[in-house]
Chain A
């Protein structure tokens, strides 16, 4: 099932790209510079920009999108083999053996990301103007959002792992700043810290991977690394692959670094929509896909990618079933869907395409659902507990419709976009590998789809249908235009994007030069059977949710539930595990080190001082003050000296 990148060295990943040409391509750095300038202006401008600062941010975001479209058009106008262009920006690190230039890589993969990121980000910017209307720090919010957009674009456009790392850190920073936006609340600030620290653990993996790359390949640009894969040993490549996976896990909230995503919902909802649904959490998938040749040459690492993806998708699904907080349920869903993407990314070049496909589709429908959740929260005065919702569909019609579009998309119901991407992933899972592997992976993906259907339907029904469980003084109302229009646009994307991209293998062909040719193999079960099974499981999930959360009365207070429910409510004890494994051992280590320092090091010092003091105290008694004692000592000395001289002479 492995692709053969060597035969397509001219147009495969890692190929030496031609230089950027044309006015649009040569100014591709504007994509990064415009939002960055917006962020700088808003941060440095101060309070006088409060009245119109957000519009500047919105404008920057949209102009980046416009430029992205133009870039796409220009690349599209070139021959498929010729679509990979590098734009050299400046010499970054001229350090003897290590020459690194900063540059942008404009190829189908990065441009696809650019389009998705800018479009969704711009929509969310518009939404935020209304959502953050009453917040006095709105200007700062938009500055951080612009900073995020700039960093994310830098991440996907970088032509070297080092520059990617800069963008990587930038999105991490923006995420931290935005999660902890309301940092006067210590819980939110703690959640921001948690996200940052978990990311940092992953970043350690990425850093070490870059170091190994430099040691092995002599450089860290994509060209140097990916074309040098043939020459490296499998052990090295496995190490690099594993470390890159660690970095991706941190950024994309995959197991075992997934604990931060639920708490990250402490940030404002647009933040959750943009960063933790559509863009930042997908950066990990981007990294894995970009490093495709490494994984193809190191089978163990690739298998581990699949395993991580599978575990996470089940984890997220289980947790999502028990969450009553609408945002946390959506976060668990994100975790699970990215698990799907990771799983697909571990299936080789054919999987890459579907992973990115699902990524794009997910960006639309998940962001749409988050914005819908934000609208619901806005209407219910900030309440997030779904047990306080119910029958909101009648009151908030637009929200209901757009949310429904996203819901059906994530379920994978044809002809919504999720169907085209998710089903393909499940098929490919059934088609990859020998022996028990396709059965195992495929079944996991299949079952995951069923559970997804269940908990997403649960969410939908609890919020918009069923009995009315509103609090006494809440007046849910539809949100204004600035909020509803972006939701509508995203809903349209959820509906139509999948079909558009899958039509005539458009997306497959578009992405091929970047990811390598995908050889589709036949799944162990027939494709139609897979689709049928999937739809059956989905229907079963929906039916179960309907029975429990629409038809039946939903209790306002959460019932006790079986042990699995209790565990799922507590995120399957992820925090406790982290605490025991890492925090407590870390604290123990710290305490023991402090103990060693206090007793050992300080003890040595103090002990020396005490010993000297004690010795001095003893010796002090020699000073009796009596001259004759001194004379005695002197005589003794004289005798000793004479004895010594005599002994030497004799």
Chain B
């Protein structure tokens, strides 16, 4: 594994210039980081990739802390893991979690070239860095005399104040840009509720308000479709996500049960057969009774 390969010379370097504890920490953290990065690379589902990424960020924060950059490490966790990764996940949700990549590569030779180049790059960079004779780290204790934050602040508002201001402007611009890019101009006026209701009555198939969840339910499960008055399962009563995931249940059990009860109830009666002969009369009758009952009250 690349992790161990890279870790070995690092250990050699670490032993000369890092304190023991730091070395241990590093040797633990680094492989995990690499594995997480590889997870990002190879994950099938986007959310898994995002999780791998978040792990890398957190571990990086830890490494920063170990490198005498406490402020930076904290900022890394807050900003990157907290804000940026959350942003990533939100956008993933917006775009669609189910959109995973197929393994078939569409661009000819891309896979070969991609792997080749990145491996080459890795080898090259590692090889170059190997040659560099690292001395003992000077450490930033001297620079952190007054505290890391103070030292950083001195630099930011001292030497690099211009860059800081420009970066601030950049952030504002970025926000504006995001707003502009995702702005959707409504080509027509947003219909008000009254309009929406009128539209629904005129064109829609259902004249009555859609039933609240559970109205037609004969059970408490969210993954089983409710039954319509005529006994057919109502597909709209189950979450689309569950349907897509294939985690719904069949309503047959309840259909048969209900039919048996209705047939038992309706057999002593000799009333005319209602619509839906499967025992829907019972349902009709009950519902009709309930309905008339309701309607009777205001009279």
- In the complex, the answer to whether B124 meets A632 with C-beta atoms within 8 Å is no
User: What number of A residues sit within 8 Å (CB to CB) of B?
Assistant: 12
Given the interface contacts A635-B117, A635-B118, does A628 sit within 8 Å of B124 by beta carbon?
Answer: no
Chain A contacts with B in 603-650, Cβ cutoff 8 A: 624, 626, 628-629, 632, 635-636, 638-639, 642-643, 646
Interface string of A281-302 (1 = CB under 8 A from B): 0000000000000000000000
Q: Which residues of B contact A643 (CB under 8 A)?
A: 124
State A642–B118 Cα separation when bound (angstroms).
Answer: 13
B177 on the A face (CB < 8 A): no
- In the complex, the answer to whether A635 meets B121 with C-beta atoms within 8 Å is yes
Listed from nearest, the 3 A-B pairs whose CB atoms lie closest are A635-B117, A632-B113, A626-B107
B125 on the A face (CB < 8 A): yes
State A576–B113 Cα separation when bound (angstroms).
Answer: 76
Q: Which residues of A contact B110 (CB under 8 A)?
A: 626, 628-629, 632
- In the complex, the answer to whether B121 meets A639 with C-beta atoms within 8 Å is yes
State A636–B124 Cα separation when bound (angstroms).
Answer: 12
Residue of A nearest to B121 (CB): A639
Chain A contacts with B in 245-293, Cβ cutoff 8 A: none
State A646–B117 Cα separation when bound (angstroms).
Answer: 17
Given the interface contacts A626-B107, A628-B110, A629-B110, does A642 sit within 8 Å of B128 by beta carbon?
Answer: yes
B257 on the A face (CB < 8 A): no
State A646–B114 Cα separation when bound (angstroms).
Answer: 22
The smallest C-beta distance from B170 to any residue of chain A, in angstroms, reads 23
Q: Which residues of B contact A632 (CB under 8 A)?
A: 110, 113-114, 117
Q: Which residues of B contact A635 (CB under 8 A)?
A: 117-118, 121
State A628–B105 Cα separation when bound (angstroms).
Answer: 11
State A638–B125 Cα separation when bound (angstroms).
Answer: 11
A sample of 19 inter-chain contacts (CB < 8 A) reads A626-B107, A628-B107, A628-B110, A628-B114, A629-B107, A629-B110, A632-B110, A632-B114, A632-B117, A635-B117, A635-B118, A635-B121, A636-B117, A638-B121, A639-B117, A639-B120, A639-B121, A642-B128, A646-B124
User: What number of B residues sit within 8 Å (CB to CB) of A?
Assistant: 11
Residue of A nearest to B110 (CB): A628
Q: Which residues of A contact B107 (CB under 8 A)?
A: 624, 626, 628-629
Q: Which residues of B contact A628 (CB under 8 A)?
A: 107, 110, 114
Q: A632-B117, A635-B117 are in contact. List 9 more A-B contacts (CB 8 A).
A: A626-B110, A628-B110, A628-B114, A629-B110, A635-B118, A636-B117, A638-B121, A642-B121, A642-B128
State A372–B122 Cα separation when bound (angstroms).
Answer: 111
Given the interface contacts A624-B107, A628-B110, A632-B110, does A642 sit within 8 Å of B125 by beta carbon?
Answer: yes
Chain B contacts with A in 107-144, Cβ cutoff 8 A: 107, 110, 113-114, 117-118, 120-121, 124-125, 128
Taking beta carbons and an 8 Å cutoff, which residues of B are in contact with A? 107, 110, 113-114, 117-118, 120-121, 124-125, 128
The smallest C-beta distance from B161 to any residue of chain A, in angstroms, reads 32
Q: Which residues of A contact B124 (CB under 8 A)?
A: 639, 642-643, 646
Residue of A nearest to B106 (CB): A626
The smallest C-beta distance from A546 to any residue of chain B, in angstroms, reads 105
Q: Which residues of B contact A642 (CB under 8 A)?
A: 121, 124-125, 128
State A642–B131 Cα separation when bound (angstroms).
Answer: 14
The smallest C-beta distance from B158 to any residue of chain A, in angstroms, reads 32
State A355–B74 Cα separation when bound (angstroms).
Answer: 123
The smallest C-beta distance from B272 to any residue of chain A, in angstroms, reads 68
Residue of B nearest to A645 (CB): B128
The smallest C-beta distance from A627 to any residue of chain B, in angstroms, reads 10
Interface string of A543-557 (1 = CB under 8 A from B): 000000000000000
State A646–B110 Cα separation when bound (angstroms).
Answer: 27
The smallest C-beta distance from B5 to any residue of chain A, in angstroms, reads 20
The smallest C-beta distance from A251 to any residue of chain B, in angstroms, reads 82
The smallest C-beta distance from B106 to any residue of chain A, in angstroms, reads 8
Q: Which residues of B contact A639 (CB under 8 A)?
A: 117, 120-121, 124
State A416–B211 Cα separation when bound (angstroms).
Answer: 146
Residue of B nearest to A643 (CB): B124
The smallest C-beta distance from A623 to any residue of chain B, in angstroms, reads 13
Q: Which residues of A contact B120 (CB under 8 A)?
A: 639
State A253–B125 Cα separation when bound (angstroms).
Answer: 92
State A59–B128 Cα separation when bound (angstroms).
Answer: 108
State A626–B114 Cα separation when bound (angstroms).
Answer: 13
Q: Which residues of A contact B128 (CB under 8 A)?
A: 642, 646
Residue of B nearest to A632 (CB): B113
Residue of B nearest to A642 (CB): B124
Q: Which residues of B contact A636 (CB under 8 A)?
A: 117
Residue of A nearest to B123 (CB): A639
State A635–B113 Cα separation when bound (angstroms).
Answer: 10
State A467–B110 Cα separation when bound (angstroms).
Answer: 108
The smallest C-beta distance from B133 to any residue of chain A, in angstroms, reads 13
Residue of B nearest to A624 (CB): B107
Q: Which residues of A contact B121 (CB under 8 A)?
A: 635, 638-639, 642
Q: Which residues of A contact B118 (CB under 8 A)?
A: 635
Q: Which residues of A contact B117 (CB under 8 A)?
A: 632, 635-636, 639
Interface string of A3-31 (1 = CB under 8 A from B): 00000000000000000000000000000
State A638–B121 Cα separation when bound (angstroms).
Answer: 8
Q: Which residues of B contact A629 (CB under 8 A)?
A: 107, 110
The smallest C-beta distance from B111 to any residue of chain A, in angstroms, reads 10
The smallest C-beta distance from B78 to any residue of chain A, in angstroms, reads 30
Residue of B nearest to A636 (CB): B117
State A629–B124 Cα separation when bound (angstroms).
Answer: 21
State A643–B117 Cα separation when bound (angstroms).
Answer: 13
